[in-house]
Amino acid sequence: MNIYDIAKRSGVSIATVSRVLNGGKNVSAKTKEKVLAVMKEEGYTPNIFARGLGLNSIKMVGILCTDVSDIYYAKAVSLVESCLRAHGLDVLLCCTGNQLENKKKYLKLLLQKRVDAVVLIGSAFKEDTDNSHIEEAAKQVPVVIINGLVDLPGVICVLCDDKNAMMKNTSLLHSCGCERILYLYDILTYSGRQKLNGFREGCLAFGCEHPENLTIKVPKNIEGTREKVRSLLQDGVRFDAVIASEDIIAIGAQKALAEQNLSLPIIGFNNSVFAQSATPALTSVDSMLDTLCPTAVNLLMDFIQGKPISNRVMISSRLVERDTFSTETRGNVEK
- Alpha-carbon distance of 243 to 182, in angstroms, equals 6
CATH number of the domain within which 219 lies:
3.40.50.2300
Check whether residue 171 and residue 151 sit in a common domain.
no
Does residue 326 sit within a domain?
A: no
Domain identity same for 197 and 86: no
- Give the domain CATH number at 23: 1.10.260.40
111 belongs to a structural domain: yes
Q: Give a yes or no: residue 299 inside a domain.
A: yes
Tell me the pLDDT tens digit for each residue of 238-295. Answer: 999 999 999 999 999 999 999 999 999 999 999 999 999 999 999 999 999 999 999 9
Asked whether residue 145 falls in the same domain as residue 175, the answer is no
For residues 191 and 242, membership in a common domain is answered with yes
- Report in angstroms the alpha-carbon separations of 137 from 19, 40, 119, 141: 21, 24, 11, 6
Same domain, residue pair 197 and 187: yes
Same domain, 281 and 303: no
Task: Provide the domain limits for residue 12.
Answer: 3-42
- Residue with the bigger pLDDT between 28 and 257: it is 257
Number of folded domains that form the chain: 3
| Contact call for residues 256 and 298 (beta carbons, < 8 A) | no
Residue 124 domain-assigned (yes or no): yes
- The answer to whether residue 331 sits within a structural domain is no
Q: What gap in Å lies between CA 165 and CA 288, rounded to an integer?
A: 12
Instruction: Indicate whether 304 and 244 sit together in one domain.
Output: no
Confidence of residue 46 (pLDDT cuts 50, 70, 90): low
If asked whether residues 66 and 18 sit together in one domain, one would say: no
Predicted confidence (pLDDT) per residue in 222-252, tens digit: 999 999 999 999 999 999 999 999 999 999 9
pLDDT of residue 294: 97
Q: Cα(251)–Cα(230) distance, rounded to whole angstroms?
A: 13
- Do 294 and 145 lie in a common domain? yes
Does 294 sit behind a cis peptide bond, omega within 30 degrees of 0 on the bond before it?
A: no
Query: Considering the chain, what is the average pLDDT of its residues?
Result: 89
Residues 279 and 166 in one domain: yes
Q: Say yes or no: 292 and 152 in one domain.
A: yes
pLDDT at 316 over 80: yes
Is the CB of residue 295 less than 8 Å from the CB of residue 315?
A: yes
**SS3 assignment, position 55:** coil
Quickly list H helices, the chain. 3-10, 14-21, 29-42, 71-86, 100-112, 132-138, 162-175, 190-206, 222-234, 247-259, 273-277, 289-304
Residues 124 and 75 both lie in one domain? yes
Mean pLDDT of 78-99: 95
Distance CA 146, CA 119 (A): 7
- What pLDDT score was predicted for residue 214? 94
